[in-house]
A and B are shown apart, each in its own frame.
Chain A
Amino acid sequence: MKPPRSRDLKRYPGFGAVTWACLVFLYGPLLVIALYSFNEIRSITVWGGFSLHWYAKAFNNELIQRSTWNSLVIALCAASMATTLATAAALAVIRHRRFRARETCIGIINLPLMVPEIVTAIASLVFFVLVGIPLGVGSIVLAHTVFCIPFAYLPISARLEGIEGYYEEAAGDLYADSRRAFRHVLLPMLMPGVLAGFMLAFIISLDDFIITNFVAGPGASTLPLAIYGLVRTGLTPEINAVSTLLLLVSVIFVILSCLLGRKRYPAGH
């Protein structure tokens, strides 16, 4: 008789332990920083009691306020543009299965993912300076839009891939011209994918540091730039507080976007 442990051929001893260790490794530092952001006092060793003191301080920081506002505006603009472009591109690529340049087009759309960020960053900087686009919020939005396209494209194309072509045919058969077939049938069915794409693009833009760092110019600061500036002068509980907040935004957005991407009909309304 074999011991019961090895009865299931699929299982390997230790793999479960590694997985849990992996989880601790991934989340440990984040939990620690979140925990300390609530510590009343600056100390690492002493728990001074639960407090939102550092959050209040961060909120009152004029630089953080301004940067947050910039970040939100930039993310909203860049994500909107990227989502629009990605939706259109996905419609062309997924709905027209066979055309010669298809693979090339997909390659170009995914190109921003393959170029190391630092290279994208300096290339954008050089380009903006050469063409004479002033560095600031505008240039950041442009650079982010490019970078966000593949992220928005991912869930949109996945969703579209799952929508059989016969729905549009059925709409056409039932007297809807192509514009109304899109408006009344395809778009509502695609919407969860579009929203998921928008949200991913939004966090990607909100989180970006490297590219922003190079194309921001002297005036415009975003939240990651502000945090980086603060870190250079030393790690403070205030940074922990802002980081925790930003972290929470990311987590919420990702989970929402995942749920949207998996959304199945019937809708519950």
Chain B
Amino acid sequence: MTSELFAVNGISITKVYAGGTGDVVALDDVSISIKDNEFFVLLGPSGCGKTTLLRCIAGFEALTAGRILLFGEGIDHLPPHRRPVNTVFQHYALFPHMTVSDNIAFSLRMLRRDEREIAQTVERMLALVHMAEFAGRYPAQLSGGQQQRVALARALASHPKVLLLDEPLSALDLKLRQAMRLELKQLQEETGITFVLVTHDQDEALSMGDRIAVMSKGAIQQTGTPREIYDTPVNRFVADFIGETNFLDATIRSVNANTADCVLEGGARTGATLAGPAARMRPGDRVLLSVRPEKIAVRPRQQQPGAGHGIDGSITRSVYIGTDTLYQIALDTRTPLIARLQNSRQATDFAVGEAVSVSFDAAACRVLAD
């Protein structure tokens, strides 16, 4: 192991729930390293184990196996109230019988700080989340967005080493959610605290996370920056879960460094990038390619006789969605291709039934590991 000190280091975490009909494996040998001062996002569909992982870090769940280190120190034996980690709960869990300031002061009182210091910190926190004028209100008198801010302030008041956020924006409406994303990101930068955020919303993950771990079925599928996750998904799950993509069945003809020459089902040829776990693929292997809709170029067929590796097809449907137009293109393969073309360009409009030629760079086309 390197000597780099991670904020959170999870080693082979396994969590099994004993159920009536059999054991349920919520986390299956998960290892994770979260750097200090980073905005880390756990992304995955519901039931993938992301919340369980968060609750393990907070200490609400005991591990079945594995270890969790916080800045290099084991915390498995510590109950939640002894861990310098705070949580923003999905439903905020603001204490309804306390005012906003009492809620924020709670952790400091539990830590037996002196009252003057508490008053100062509370004031600072209220200012940080722009809630100063609501100090005397009760949670039930606040809107969802305001409760959200109080929950944040409460969790940040004791200046924890790591802040855990469990789907904090899911209860807000769309407009507020988008505004809060920026605010959360800003808050993380201002405080310098490591944020670990759980979400099922890919836009949220891409827009806020410094790094993202995509989870499915109790395991981490891929960890990387938003760009890595989006541009170079390692497997079908990640490619499918993040954004939209086209899957093409193909066979590798030859491999040249990072690029594979592939034959699609209908016989058309295309180049594709081999990287990560997919690098082990050899000529003759049947593989799955992933191409993002916006990376596809569409031209009228007669314009380019035999130029490059164009794939012939015809438009079967077009959907105008404002900034872009989506085209469904029938190729000789089983699944139709979706292409997304920006409307701002002076691009020609394609009519349904029109014969077109489709192409994409080898760099935009990924060979998936499985």
Contact = CB atoms under 8 A, between A and B. Distances in A.
A binds B: yes
Interface of A: 164, 166-167, 169-177, 180-181, 184-185, 188-189, 264-267
A172 B81 contact: yes
Contacts of B16: none
Nearest to B82: A175
B121 interface: no
Given A173-B81, A265-B97, A266-B96, A166 B141 contact: no
A170 B81 contact: no
A175 B111 contact: yes
A169 B151 CA distance: 14
A176 B110 CA distance: 6
B134 interface: no
Contacts of A174: 81, 86, 106-107, 110, 154-155, 158
B214 to A, nearest CB: 26
Contact of B97 (A169, A170, A172, A188): A188
Nearest to B90: A166
A265 B110 contact: no
Contact of A175 (B58, B89, B95, B107): B107
B140 interface: yes
A258 to B, nearest CB: 20
A177 to B, nearest CB: 5
Given A173-B58, A265-B138, A166 B91 contact: yes
B80 interface: yes
B60 A265 contact: no
Contacts of A171: 81, 95, 106, 110
B93 A166 contact: yes
B148 interface: no
The 3 closest A-B pairs by CB, nearest first: A266-B138, A265-B96, A174-B107
A188 B111 CA distance: 20
A264 B79 CA distance: 31
A180 B97 contact: no
B91 A175 contact: no
Contact of A185 (B89, B95, B107): B95
Contacts of A264: 140
A167 B95 contact: yes
A166 B81 contact: no
Interface of B: 58-60, 79-82, 85-87, 89, 91, 93, 95-97, 106-107, 110-111, 137-141, 154-155, 158
10 contacts: A169-B87, A171-B110, A173-B87, A173-B155, A181-B81, A184-B110, A189-B97, A264-B140, A265-B140, A266-B141
Contacts of A188: 97
Contacts of B96: 189, 265-266
Contacts of B110: 171, 174-176, 180, 184
B184 to A, nearest CB: 18
Nearest to B83: A173
A169 B60 contact: yes
Given A169-B89, A173-B155, A175-B110, 15 more contacts: A164-B93, A166-B91, A166-B93, A167-B93, A167-B95, A171-B81, A172-B79, A173-B58, A173-B59, A173-B87, A174-B81, A174-B86, A174-B155, A176-B106, A266-B141
Contacts of A180: 110
A227 B91 CA distance: 54
Contact of B87 (A170, A177, A265, A267): A170
Nearest to A189: B97
Given A175-B110, A264-B140, A265-B96, A169 B91 contact: no
Contacts of B158: 174-175
A181 B80 CA distance: 12
B138 A267 contact: yes
Nearest to B142: A266
B81 A176 contact: yes
Given A170-B87, A177-B81, A265 B106 contact: no
Contacts of A166: 89, 91, 93
A176 B95 CA distance: 13
Contacts of A177: 79, 81
Contacts of A176: 81, 106, 110
A165 to B, nearest CB: 9
A144 B289 CA distance: 76
Contacts of B155: 173-174
Nearest to A192: B97
A211 to B, nearest CB: 37
Nearest to A188: B97
A164 B93 CA distance: 8
Contacts of A175: 81-82, 107, 110-111, 158
Contacts of B82: 175
A265 B93 CA distance: 13
Contacts of B140: 264-266
Contacts of A173: 58-60, 80-81, 85-87, 155
B270 to A, nearest CB: 51
